């Protein structure tokens, strides 16, 4: 059975491999996505280390001079996707978006480095990536934390990766759609519209892109100009973990200055995360910079901080919170509390389970000694594969497979989970 999963997962990776990068899935996402690539590299690393490094290197080949690493690289023209390069109009030699995404690459690089069988190759390739990843992290703190709070803001829901989370509802509602014009979505021709964001959300997504395009994608101006500025604990935790992992890598690769700077960013971030903790909700919350208030919504973004080195009592709190969520669903971890009124078990980030999120939360909980909960999360993840194959995401109550099928990072996570299981056995 396990070997079957491994073979199937590798087949998904092979089918979505475009040589130097992978597409998340054929049709719905026909280009390279930033955090998809970084997490998918972990899958390749189990059987082709060279290809795994290439995945991340290709992403960084398209880094902007300011340090930003775009969330989509439009390697090849594909009319089946909206919004394509002509909507972003960033003017890059190979077209890219002008937004970024959760900075998970340094975590992946560190993990690949630690596990590498070919140590010499890993040293060489990690050393070349190191300054690029560090420049990206510094770019985030420079441009998205202008007041030096220790936490960065996203300026578009797409940056979080959790596109239509309830976390953004109120902030997005305030984005005016005046002048946005008409457009034709393509996502709902590839996936069930009931699994995707609404038209009203898309109008605001596009409006924000138009605002940034008017500023010629000058990333030093976008934060202040954006009507949407939200501090996402999940996004920050991933960046904090990446800074900590990069610091360790920098030490190992003889870059002590970079290590010190990166560790300082991580430490400051951990301390600042504390301002997002809610005793009442038993989890972390998003913070809306435009209105200066926490956003009281029970999403998985507030559980993802387990991925960073938060205090042990906070990790224990997150584990307790997941335990409670488990009482109202069959499969952990729902992206939104199933007992909350806005919960929608099929709709993208408003309820469904995502294996990449399960993996990151379990990884952090494991470091914090929450092993029972880690076991439950891993078991549920594999039960979903068993029931519904390699989907983009799953209904946490029925296990219905949702979004795109034959999904790259889901397959990569299965390889990761099975390898960890084998290690523990």
Which stretches of the chain bind ligand DGY, using CB under 6 A?
A: 71-72, 158, 163, 187
Catalytic residue among 49, 145, 163, 395: 163
C-beta of 158 vs 407, nearer to ligand DGY: 158
Of 255, 392, 395, 416, the active-site residue reads 392
What tokens were used for 348? 């993208």
What does each C-alpha distance from 46 to 32, 180, 393, 411, 413 come to in angstroms?
A: 21, 45, 23, 12, 11
Least Å from the CB of residue 72 to ligand DGY: 6
Cα–Cα distance for residue pair 186/191, rounded to 1 Å: 9
**Dist. CA 189–CA 330, nearest whole Å:** 29
In three-state secondary structure terms, 394 is: strand
Q: Minimum distance from CB of 28 to ligand DGY (Å)?
A: 8
Nearby residues of 189 by Cβ (< 8 Å), 6 or more positions away: 80
Tell me how many degrees the CA angle 15-34-58 measures, rounded to the nearest 5: 70
Residue (187 or 344) nearer to ligand DGY, CB: 187
**Residues contacting residue 72 through CB under 8 Å, at least 6 positions apart:** 31, 32, 33, 34, 96, 97
Nearer Cβ to ligand DGY, position 175 or 273? 175
Residue nearest to ligand DGY (CB): 158
In whole angstroms, how close is the CB of 97 to ligand DGY at the nearest point?
Answer: 7
Nearest distance in Å: CB 274, ligand DGY: 30
Is 392 tagged catalytic?
yes
**Degrees (nearest 5) of the Cα angle 412, 414, 416?**
70
Query: What is the signed CA dihedral for 132, 137, 140, 146, rounded to 10 degrees?
Result: -120
Min dist CB 163 to ligand DGY, Å, is 5
Residue placing its CB nearer to ligand DGY in the complex, 24 or 338: 24
Based on CB atoms, which residue is closest to ligand DGY, 52 or 72? Answer: 72
Q: Could you give the residue numbers annotated as active site?
A: 163, 392
């Amino acid at each position: 059975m396990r070997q079957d999963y491994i073979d199937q997962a590798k087949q998904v990776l092979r089918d979505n491999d475009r040589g130097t990068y992978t597409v998340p899935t054929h049709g719905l996402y026909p280009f390279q996505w930033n955090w998809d690539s970084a997490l998918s590299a972990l899958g390749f690393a189990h059987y082709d280390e060279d290809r795994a490094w290439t995945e991340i290197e290709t992403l960084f080949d398209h880094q902007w001079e300011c340090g930003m690493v775009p969330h989509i690289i439009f390697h090849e023209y594909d009319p089946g996707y909206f919004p394509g390069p002509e909507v972003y109009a960033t003017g890059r030699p190979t077209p890219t978006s002008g937004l970024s995404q959760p900075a998970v690459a340094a975590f992946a690089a560190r993990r690949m480095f630690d596990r590498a069988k070919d140590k010499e190759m890993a040293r060489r390739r990690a050393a070349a990536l190191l300054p690029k990843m560090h420049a990206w992290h510094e770019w985030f703190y420079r441009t998205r934390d202008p007041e030096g709070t220790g936490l960065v803001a996203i300026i578009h829901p797409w940056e979080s990766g959790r596109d239509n989370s309830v976390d953004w509802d109120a902030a997005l509602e305030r984005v005016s759609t005046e002048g946005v014009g008409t457009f034709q979505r393509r996502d709902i021709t590839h996936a069930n519209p009931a699994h995707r964001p609404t038209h009203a959300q898309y109008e605001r997504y596009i409006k924000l892109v138009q605002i940034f395009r008017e500023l010629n994608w000058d990333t030093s101006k976008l934060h202040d100009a954006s009507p949407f500025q939200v501090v996402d604990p999940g996004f920050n935790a991933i960046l904090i973990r990446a800074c900590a992992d990069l610091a360790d890598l920098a030490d190992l690769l003889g870059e002590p200055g970079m290590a010190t700077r990166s560790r300082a960013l991580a430490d400051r971030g951990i301390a600042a995360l504390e301002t997002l903790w809610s005793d009442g909700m038993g989890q972390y919350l998003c913070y809306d910079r435009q209105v200066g208030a926490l956003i009281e919504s029970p999403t998985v973004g507030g559980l993802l901080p387990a991925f960073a080195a938060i205090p042990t009592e906070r990790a224990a709190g997150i584990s307790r919170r997941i335990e409670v969520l488990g009482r109202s669903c069959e499969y952990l971890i729902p992206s939104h509390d199933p007992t909350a009124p806005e919960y929608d078990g099929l709709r993208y980030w408003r309820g469904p389970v995502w294996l990449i999120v399960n993996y990151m939360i379990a990884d952090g909980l494991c470091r914090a000694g929450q092993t029972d909960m880690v076991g439950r999360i891993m078991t549920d993840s594999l039960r979903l594969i068993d029931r519904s194959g390699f989907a983009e995401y799953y209904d946490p109550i029925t296990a219905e497979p949702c979004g795109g099928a034959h999904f790259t990072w889901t397959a990569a996570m299965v390889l990761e989970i099975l390898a960890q299981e084998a290690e523990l056995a």
